[in-house]
C-alpha cells in the first residue's frame, strides 16, 4: 500500500494563491486507507477551502487515481466542473497525481506527501514512479516527478547531457525527464515555475515520521499478517 500524509494547509494554500476555482480529487485506494484522500477528507478540504474564500467547482473520489484509463473514464462525467476550475487539488499519492495529471489538461497540485510506496503500487502498474521523498515537488514540475523521470534525480532543471529531448543515458529509449517537464509546463502556461529555485531536499523526510510509524497501518505494512 502507498502511504501518504497530507501537506500542511499553509503549503496547500500557497499552491492555490491567485486561483479562485478549485476541483477536488480524492482516491478510494491507498489514500482512503491512509485517511488522506477518501470521501471524508475531500469533504473536510472542501469546507476548509471554502472558508478560505475558494469556490469548489466540484469534488470526485474515484478508485485508483494511479490508473490513467480508469481515471479518465470516471472523470468524463465531471468534465464541465473540471473545465470551470483554475486547477485541480489531488488528495492522493505521488503516483496518483502523476498518472491522472497526465490525462487532464489542467494545473494539478499535490495535497499530499508520499512517505512509502510499500509493497505494492496501487491497482495498476503504469510508468509513473515515486521515490517516496516525503516532500512532493509535483506542484512545481507540472505533475512529473523529477526524482524519477530524470535519471539523475535533478530537481532544478536538466544536466548538460540532454540532447534532442533524450537523456544522455540510453538516448535511444529514454526521454529526458526535464524535457518532459518543460513541455508539460509549457502546455499549462506555467513556464515561470522554472524560474523558481527548489531548495535542496531534506532527505530526512524520506523516513516516515513518528506519527506514521506509530499507526496500525504502518505496522501492518511492515509485518506479515497471519
Ligand atoms: S516529488 Fe516525486 S518522489 Fe517526491 S513524493 Fe512527489 S512523486 Fe514521490
Ligand atoms: S539528460 Fe535529462 S533525464 Fe538525463 S540525467 Fe540529464 S536532465 Fe536528467
Evaluate whether residue 162 is within a structural domain: no
- Print the domain residue range for 126: 3-137+199-222
Cα separation, 196 vs 23, whole angstroms = 25
Q: C-alpha cell of 129?
A: 514512479
Structural domain count, the chain: 1
Evaluate whether residue 143 is within a structural domain: no
Evaluate whether residue 149 is within a structural domain: no
Cβ–ligand 1 contact at 101 (below 6 Å): no
Nearest ligand to the CA of 166 is 2
Nearest ligand to the CA of 111 is 1
Ligand 2 atom nearest the C-alpha of 149 is 3
- Residue 2: which of 159, 88, 128, 164 has the closest Cα? 128
Tens digit of pLDDT at every position of the chain (226 positions):
788 889 999 999 999 999 999 999 999 988 888 889 999 999 999 999 999 999 999 999 998 898 889 999 999 999 999 999 999 999 999 999 999 999 998 999 999 999 876 655 555 567 888 888 999 999 999 999 999 999 999 999 999 999 999 999 999 999 999 999 999 999 999 999 999 999 999 988 887 777 777 777 677 766 655 5
Evaluate whether residue 218 is within a structural domain: yes
Amino acid at each position: 500500500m502507498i502511504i501518504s500524509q497530507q501537506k500542511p494547509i499553509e503549503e496547500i494554500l500557497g499552491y492555490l494563491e491567485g486561483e479562485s476555482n478549485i476541483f477536488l480529487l480524492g482516491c478510494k485506494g491507498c489514500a482512503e486507507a491512509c485517511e488522506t484522500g477518501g470521501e471524508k477528507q475531500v469533504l473536510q478540504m472542501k469546507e476548509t477551502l471554502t472558508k478560505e474564500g475558494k469556490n469548489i467547482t466540484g469534488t470526485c473520489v474515484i478508485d485508483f487515481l494511479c490508473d490513467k484509463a480508469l481515471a479518465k473514464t470516471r472523470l468524463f462525467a465531471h468534465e464541465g466542473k473540471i473545465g470551470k476550475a483554475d486547477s485541480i487539488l489531488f488528495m492522493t499519492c505521488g503516483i496518483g497525481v502523476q498518472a491522472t495529471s497526465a490525462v487532464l489538461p489542467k494545473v494539478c497540485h499535490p495535497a499530499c506527501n508520499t512517505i512509502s510506496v510499500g509493497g505494492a503500487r496501487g491497482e495498476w502498474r503504469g510508468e509513473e514512479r515515486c521515490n517516496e521523498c516525503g516532500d512532493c515537488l509535483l506542484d512545481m514540475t507540472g505533475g512529473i516527478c523529477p526524482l524519477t523521470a530524470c535519471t539523475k534525480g535533478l530537481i532544478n532543471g536538466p544536466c548538460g547531457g540532454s540532447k534532442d529531448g533524450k537523456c544522455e543515458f540510453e538516448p535511444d529509449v529514454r526521454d529526458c525527464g526535464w524535457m518532459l517537464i518543460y513541455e508539460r509546463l509549457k502546455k499549462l502556461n506555467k513556464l515561470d515555475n522554472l524560474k523558481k529555485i527548489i531548495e535542496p531536499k531534506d532527505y530526512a523526510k524520506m523516513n516516515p515520521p513518528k506519527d506514521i510509524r506509530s499507526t496500525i497501518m504502518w505496522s501492518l505494512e511492515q509485518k506479515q499478517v497471519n
